[in-house]
Amino acid sequence: MNRPTMAASRRVALAAALAGALVAAGPAAAQQQEVRLGWMGAITGPIAQLVPPILRASQLAVEQVNEQGGILGGRRLTLISADSQCNAQGGNDAGNKLVNVDQVVAIVGGLCSGETIAAANSQAIPNGVVMVSPASTSPLITGLQDRDLIFRVVPSDAYQGQVMARMVWNMGLRRVAVTHVNNDYGRGLAGSFRTAYEALGGTITAFAPHEDQRASYRTELATLARGNPEALVVIAYGGGSGLTVIRQALEGGFFNRFIGGDGMRDDVLPRELGANLNLVVTQPVPREGNPGLEIFNEAFRRVGGNPASIFVAQGYDAAFALALAIQHSGGTDRARISASLRAVTAPGGTVIRPGQWREAVAALAAGQRITYVGASGPIEFDANGDVPGNVAQFTIQGGTFVQGPILSAN
pLDDT interval class at 3 (50, 70, 90): very low
Q: Which of 27, 28, 30, 38 is nearest to 104 (CA)?
A: 38
Neighbours of 214 (CB within 10 A): 12
Report the distance separating Cα 244 and Cα 399, nearest Å.
18
- 3-state DSSP call for residue 8? helix
Q: Which whole number is the average pLDDT over 110-130?
A: 98
Between the CA atoms of 171, 175, 176 and 177, what dihedral angle is there, to the nearest 10 degrees? 180
Tell me the pTM.
Answer: 0.90
To the nearest 10°, report the CA torsion of 287, 308, 54, 149: 10
Instruction: Dump pLDDT digits (tens) for 291-335.
Output: 999 999 999 999 999 999 999 999 999 999 999 999 999 999 999
For 145-186, the pLDDT digits (tens) are 999 999 999 999 999 999 999 999 999 999 999 999 999 999
Domains and CATH numbers, the chain: 33-156+288-389 (3.40.50.2300), 158-285+391-407 (3.40.50.2300)
Q: Name, in order, each residue with C-beta under 8 angstroms of 251's C-beta and a sequence gap of 6 or more.
A: none
Question: How many Å apart are CA 87 and CA 33, to the nearest integer?
Answer: 34
Largest interatomic CA distance in the chain: 108
Distances (CA, A) of 25 to 13, 28, 76, 309: 18, 5, 18, 43
